Amino acid sequence: MDVFVPFDADEPKTRLSPLFDAAERRALAETMLADVLAVLEDAGWSPTVLATTDLDCDVPVVVDDRPLSEAIDAALEDALPAAVVMADLPLATPDALDRLAAPAADVVMAPGLGGGTNALVVRHPDFRTDFHGVSARDHRRRAAAADLDLATVDSFRLALDVDEPSDLAEILLHGEGKTADWLREAGVEVVAPDGRVSVCRPADSDG
């Protein structure tokens, strides 16, 4: 299946600024993208990166600087059935992608933590994406309004996108790809105060 992987190369992952400077955040974003592309290819999918600016990459790149949902809808239009998988899902596995592709629904969604949508399979031309705001809810409403059936895939590995420092703890605990290695090399460590884990980066690991 064709799959589009949106990648914002401009100022990625600003909420990780307490841990990483801009060059590091860019390197981390590219490492996560590499993990996602490798897993997609392992699963037999055909990825195209949908980037805001040109990018050096081993797979085809389409540059489109329109707002995300508009760029995705344009890419999907001539490619159905096709998928969209976010570039910041370093826990994704071929198994999770197989489960995403399995339901025969018009639209299949992998919700992200915090109301987002981390992956979509779209089979029906009447569906339009809306990645702004609480997109998991909005995608359900849009499918219902267009009288399309929407299935949801239940996957922690696809739900975990990387926005905040605590997300990096999940990568260190459960990741097996280059992103987990990158974080360890950057000196990022899991810390476990009372309750849920997060990460720290001791001062001697900076830059």
Q: Which residues bind its own copies (CB under 8 A)?
A: 15, 93, 95-96, 111, 113-116, 133-134, 136-137, 152, 154-159, 163-164, 166, 169-170, 173-174, 190, 192, 195-197
To its own copies, the closest distance from the beta carbon of 77 in angstroms equals: 28
Closer Cβ to its own copies, 166 or 205, answer by number: 166
Closer Cβ to its own copies, 92 or 186, answer by number: 92
Reduced to 3 states (helix: H, G, I; strand: E, B; else coil), residue 30 is helix
Closer Cβ to its own copies, 114 or 125, answer by number: 114
To its own copies, the closest distance from the beta carbon of 115 in angstroms equals: 4
What beta strand segments (E) does 52-106 contain?
61-63, 82-85
Hey, which residues does 157 pair with through a beta bridge? none
What is the residue type of 169?
A
Closer Cβ to its own copies, 148 or 190, answer by number: 190
To its own copies, the closest distance from the beta carbon of 13 in angstroms equals: 12
